[in-house]
Amino acid sequence: MPSVETQYLLQIAKMTGAEKIARSAALFKWTREMIARQIESTSRPLSAERLKWEVALRMYGGDPGTRSLIERKLIDVSG
């Protein structure tokens, strides 16, 4: 019996390029939603726009240049 990892790799290999992209997009969406839920559970209510930028900060804030751009945007975003 093949290992779980082997089975996974075989299934991925069978996917078309479009299926792989769709899967990646779905995983990216899931990740953004999970981060948004974490932020919402630990902060005051935020506007959709503010939440979007807070998620971006959490995802991309490790890069100093990107962090600076997002933080400047957050200054202009209400609630």
Per residue in 29-79, pLDDT (tens digit) is 999 999 999 999 998 999 999 999 999 999 999 999 999 999 999 999 976
How many domains would you assign to the chain?
1
Q: Where are the beta strands (DSSP E) in 10-75?
A: none
Q: From CA 10, how far away is CA 32, in angstroms rounded?
A: 27
- For the entire predicted model, the pTM comes to 0.80
Side-chain-side CA neighbours of residue 74 (13 Å) = 17
Domain that holds residue 9: 4-76
- The reported pLDDT for the residue numbered 58 is 97
- The reported pLDDT for the residue numbered 12 is 96
Average pLDDT over residues 10-33: 97
Helical axes 64-76 vs 48-60, angle rounded to 10°: 170
